[in-house]
Amino acid sequence: MARTLSLIVLMLVLWLVMSGHGELWLLALGGASAVLVAWIARRLDSVDHEGHPLHLTWRGLGYWPWLAVEIVKANLDVARTILAGPDAVTPAVFTVKASQSDDLGRTIYANSITLTPGTVTMGVDDDGTLTIHALNAGAREGLETGDMDRRVRTLMGEA
Amino acid sequence: MSLILDTLSWALILGGSGFVLIGTLGLLRLPDVFTRLHGAGMTDTMGAGLLVLGMLLQSPDWLVAVKLVLIVVFLAFTSPMTSHALARAAILDGIKPWLRDSGKGGAQ
């Protein structure tokens, strides 16, 4: 129930910042739409720990900025590689283990890998083995330290 | 004050454009679909990010600013999905990643 309520509040806030209207009549319409969508989402069974991961909010404040810095570093590395020409490209396909305990954690890890330029998740196995394509050796080594895997586990509250 | 903001904003926008340009260059000169994905990944992370940051400094009010930030948020959630879907489609279609030592695969 708390999840549904927070979804309604979140969507009302989203409606407010998208429309910019503060009049009571329009506000009531926005509120009604938020409630309607939350009701439909509930009927679709999508207001759970995956569809609306409210529990990640606070720990996410630590993870997302770290990921942003990693993305910037990876961007500079990929830019250097591209500018250096075709000889600098040493692609590799390898696997890493996603040690998160549930699908949400693994998805966040796999998507974080893909979002970071230089590494793309090509496949996910049921046992949490991710198949990765890396643009160069540096990107591969960075991933094999397992740092990101650990941080996603911390985000999920598992470590 | 507005001169400093304008300069900073333009520096960010030019920087973002630079990353989009390099990403596109990568898209053209990298050897196969998988390596090209990495080039494309640059345009919607650093490219779009710096462009939006530069535009944020020019936004007339906070409503526009929030919308700009939301663009980056939605990109952060959707772009890895599309990259992954593309890579997976290529794998399922039987395309072998180009590797330096094998000399096989590639764009052809």
- Do the beta carbons of residue B83 and residue B10 sit within 8 Å? no
Residue B98 is classified by DSSP as P
Q: What is the CA radius of gyration of chain A?
A: 20
Domains in chain B: boundaries: 2-92
Q: With CB atoms and an 8 Å threshold, state whether A86 touches B31.
A: yes
Q: With CB atoms and an 8 Å threshold, state whether A91 touches B29.
A: no
Q: Which residues of B touch A86 (CB under 8 A)?
A: 29-31
Residue A118 is classified by DSSP as T
- Do the beta carbons of residue B40 and residue B83 sit within 8 Å? yes
Q: How far apart are CA A77 and CA A82, in angstroms?
A: 9
**What pLDDT digit, counting tens, does each position of A31-72 carry?**
999 999 999 999 999 888 888 888 899 999 999 999 999 999
Tell me the two tokens of residue A126. Answer: 């049921």
Q: With CB atoms and an 8 Å threshold, state whether B34 touches A133.
A: yes
**What pLDDT digit, counting tens, does each position of A86-139 carry?**
888 999 999 999 999 999 999 999 999 999 999 999 999 989 999 999 998 888
Q: What value does the mean pLDDT take over residues A151-158?
A: 93
Task: Pick from B28, B38, B50, B59 the residue to mutate for testing the A interface (most A CBs within 10 Å).
Answer: B38
Residue in chain B nearest A116 by alpha carbon: B41
Q: Is residue A85 left, alpha or beta, with left meaning phi > 0 and alpha meaning psi from -120 to 50?
A: left
Of B41, B87, B97, the CB nearest to A117: B41
Q: With CB atoms and an 8 Å threshold, state whether A82 touches B26.
A: yes
Q: Which residues of A touch B31 (CB under 8 A)?
A: 86, 89, 91
Q: How far apart are CA A92 and CA A141, in angstroms?
A: 11
Q: Is A95 helix (H, G, I), strand (E, B) or coil?
A: strand
Tell me the two tokens of residue A24. Answer: 């009571």
Q: How far apart are CA A113 and CA B87, in angstroms?
A: 13
Tell me the two tokens of residue B89. Answer: 């489609």
ipTM: 0.86
Tell me the two tokens of residue A131. Answer: 């198949």
Q: How far is B80 from chain A (nearest CA, A)?
A: 5
Q: How far apart are CA B38 and CA B22, in angstroms?
A: 11
pLDDT in tens, chain B (108 residues): 789 999 999 999 999 999 999 999 999 999 899 999 999 989 989 999 999 999 999 998 889 999 999 999 999 999 999 999 999 999 999 989 988 875 554 443
Return the residue matching tokens 């890493």. A96
Q: With CB atoms and an 8 Å threshold, state whether B35 touches A91.
A: yes
pTM: 0.89
Strand partners, A133: A93, A120
